[in-house]
Structure 1
């Protein structure tokens, strides 16, 4: 497993994508402005990054009752990010890729979950992760399209 991809051996891997009617620069700005997440993500109660969005930086966020410390593993500006970290016994690895799509942006995201809570009920974990990712993508699209 490479730290620059999801954990391909994880029991749960979810992939989803969305086309957003906004320029890639705006979508990227929202995605990487972690301190601003709470302004457009109703499911995130806390989001804090001290410093810049860069490889090696750690950010803290809370969603669905989970407190998460994520480490940024890779950043390719306006194209790709990778971060991951533990939460409640789950090791998550999240990859985001951004592509120009006409006058909009296609966002592809994939996340893996591993750990005892996932092993105990992989189907429930898969449902929860898929729902979380879908809400995240829809919220990102709505926020990006509001400023258009």
Structure 2
């Protein structure tokens, strides 16, 4: 996938008002992830996504890299901009290893759109559950002037022959996404599969 297309996928996730009429403009890389919405929701320490959310998506991919590499990439939040093209900044709001209670703030560009004049969307995430090398669950809002999306995001990591099976599920709530659930779900799908693609590509390239 080109850097331009990867950027389009991740930006779409967090710019719902602008992207509602642009579904299909960005396509996930073939074979990068297998998504589905059916079945039991993912959990971490027994907690899952928002059961009342109308916008939800789950997807997974096999990464041919050691678990320690995949886990380090995913939990070293401050380095997300190094391998995620649309993450412009990321900062931890506490010190030490990522753990339950840790918080982080990150930003992504927000193109001009009817809902907000802000150039940047700011996301503040708080880790609610974490099991080292196994699972993560965080919650938090993505906000700009006139725009708010509340998300719950769960990640599961399982060592399998040949690498790590990474599964992720996320829900979104808020007036902008609830106004058009099918479109917002499609945007969420593109964003999650784009994230897995970037994680897979970076981990398999030998990043440490």
TM-score (norm 1): 0.94
Aligned residue for 2:71? 28
Aligned residue for 1:41? 84
Q: Secondary structure at the match of 2:126?
A: strand
Could you report, residue by residue, the CA deviation over 1:57-96 in whole angstroms, capped at 9, with x for unpaired residues? 1100113422100000011000000001011321100000
Aligned residue for 1:71? 126
Could you report, residue by residue, the CA deviation over 1:8-57 in whole angstroms, capped at 9, with x for unpaired residues? 11011100000000011110000000001100100211111141311111
- How far apart are the structure 2 equivalents of 1:86 and 1:34? 17
RMSD: 1.6
Sort the Cα spacing of 1:111 and 1:19 in 2 relative to 1 into closer, same or farther, 3 A.
same
Aligned residue for 1:13? 56
- The ranges of structure 1 where at least 4 consecutive aligned residues each deviate by more than 4 angstroms after the TM superposition are none
User: Please, which runs of 5 or more residues in structure 1 have no aligned partner?
Assistant: none
Offset at 1:103? 2.8
Offset at 1:4? 2.5
User: Please, which runs of 5 or more residues in structure 2 have no aligned partner?
Assistant: 1-42, 111-120
- How far apart are the structure 2 equivalents of 1:118 and 1:109? 19
Aligned residue for 1:128? 187
- How far apart are the structure 1 equivalents of 2:66 and 2:162? 6
Aligned residue for 1:83? 138
- How far apart are the structure 2 equivalents of 1:63 and 1:129? 15
- How far apart are the structure 1 equivalents of 2:185 and 2:194? 14
Which one is further off, 41-50 or 68-77?
Answer: 41-50
**Larger strand percent:** 1
- How far apart are the structure 1 equivalents of 2:59 and 2:136? 15
2:152 is matched with which residue: 87, 93, 100? Answer: 93
Structure with greater Cα Rg: 2
Offset at 1:120? 1.0
2:166 pairs with 1:107: yes
- How far apart are the structure 1 equivalents of 2:53 and 2:108? 21
- How far apart are the structure 2 equivalents of 1:69 and 1:105? 28
Aligned residues: 147
